[in-house]
């Protein structure tokens, strides 16, 4: 049986977005595809085969479990684990993670001496691939610039490690804080000039997120990591003037109940909505567990074949209510669209993010486990 909630993933649009982003770069610049958080909520089992077909050189995930899952899906290229996954108190767990990294050819991120020491003391059949992360100004993960060269030399001197990359991350996804972005770029560029003679040509330097891929060619270096843009969403208004980004997700469900309510009747928990007229009410089996946020209660529309239907009353865990009074043609079982693949729609990922005062990433990453992710388009 299929789910009552379907995420339709347009694989041809995904191919298009990858091509559009590659076209922003010089020849030879590699592509690292962020596939963490279930491919930003789009379903890694749907997205990964398309990217394999396209010859993507690297995938980025956050956790060891995500990395193992990707290998189980058949991913053969490099898998970069972004999290500091060796910082666990349980020695057996740390050993298991290092063994998996060795056996499955996973690339671990090193940010301090402790992580390197864990790799150095692990018995493995060959060197474990690692990348060095630099804190170029974000103040989160990474070694500070003044300590980067020393840690890089320790990695190179370690028989148990093979350094495949050096990377950092911009503090603003849309680069609106341009002074900080420029400072980070300058810091990373200076470190690259210092480290390049030590690490050789096989070590990839990478910094560019989606915004930098589109607007800062000087930040491309050896590889780009465009997450949001790869899935077709724009973090700033000018992105689509640079590249034709096409959203790959459409989220649908259907109407499971239609009933008539009299005027002055409560709808949903908390009595946040009371009908002012005789109202034709529709129920859709989608709630906040599925990623349709409670904050959209009385604050959104969903699309029906007859037009947009306002969400009324408080969104609950498993259901929401809509007003169908002014819409002809809606029937029991009629399909509705909750998230549109038209970026100009009121149901687009970007529109929902603005309505919730959040970012597009959070909209797609909220998609819950009850949702079936279905590929549409040419098969890999």
Residues labelled catalytic: 36, 269
Residues 197, 13: Cα–Cα separation, whole Å = 40
Indicate the burial class of 219 (C-beta count within 10 angstroms; 0-12, 13-18, 19 or more). Answer: buried
**183 with 220: CB under 8 angstroms?**
no
**220 with 26: CB under 8 angstroms?**
yes
Measured between alpha carbons, how far is residue 318 from residues 8, 44, 297 in Å?
20, 24, 13
Residues 122, 108: Cα–Cα separation, whole Å = 13
Residues 253, 262: Cα–Cα separation, whole Å = 26
């Amino acid at each position: 049986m299929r789910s009552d909630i379907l995420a339709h993933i347009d694989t041809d649009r995904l191919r298009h977005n990858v091509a559009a982003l590659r076209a922003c770069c010089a020849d030879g610049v590699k592509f690292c595809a962020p596939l963490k958080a279930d491919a930003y909520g789009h379903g890694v089992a749907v997205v990964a085969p398309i990217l394999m077909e396209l010859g993507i050189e690297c995938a980025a995930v956050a956790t060891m479990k995500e990395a193992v899952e990707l290998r189980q899906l058949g991913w053969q290229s490099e898998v970069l684990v972004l999290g500091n996954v060796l910082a666990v108190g349980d020695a057996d767990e740390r050993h298991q993670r290092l063994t998996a990294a060795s056996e499955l050819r996973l690339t671990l991120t090193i940010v301090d001496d402790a992580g390197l020491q864990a790799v150095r003391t692990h018995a493995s059949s060959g060197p474990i691939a690692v990348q060095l992360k630099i804190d170029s100004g974000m103040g989160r993960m990474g070694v500070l610039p003044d300590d980067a060269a020393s840690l890089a030399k320790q990695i190179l001197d370690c028989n148990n490690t093979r350094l495949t990359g050096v990377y950092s991350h911009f503090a603003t996804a849309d680069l609106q804080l341009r002074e900080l972005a420029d400072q980070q770029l300058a810091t990373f560029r200076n470190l690259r000039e210092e480290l390049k003679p030590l690490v050789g040509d096989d070590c990839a330097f990478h910094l560019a997120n989606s915004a930098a891929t589109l607007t800062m060619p000087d930040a491309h270096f050896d590889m780009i990591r465009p997450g949001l843009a790869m899935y077709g969403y724009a973090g700033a208004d000018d992105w689509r003037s640079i590249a034709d980004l096409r959203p790959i997700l459409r989220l649908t469900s259907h109407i499971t109940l239609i009933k008539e309510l009299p005027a002055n009747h409560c709808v949903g928990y908390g009595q946040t909505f009371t009908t002012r007229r005789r109202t034709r009410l529709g129920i859709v089996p989608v709630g906040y567990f599925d990623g349709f946020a409670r904050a959209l209660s009385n604050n959104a529309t969903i699309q029906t074949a007859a037009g947009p239907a306002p969400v009324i009353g408080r969104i609950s865990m498993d259901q929401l209510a809509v007003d169908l009074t002014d819409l002809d043609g809606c029937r029991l079982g009629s399909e509705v669209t909750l998230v549109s693949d038209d970026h100009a729609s009121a149901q687009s990922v970007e529109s929902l993010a603005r309505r919730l005062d959040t970012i597009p990433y959070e909209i797609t990453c909220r998609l819950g486990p009850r949702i079936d992710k279905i590929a549409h388009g040419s098969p890999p």
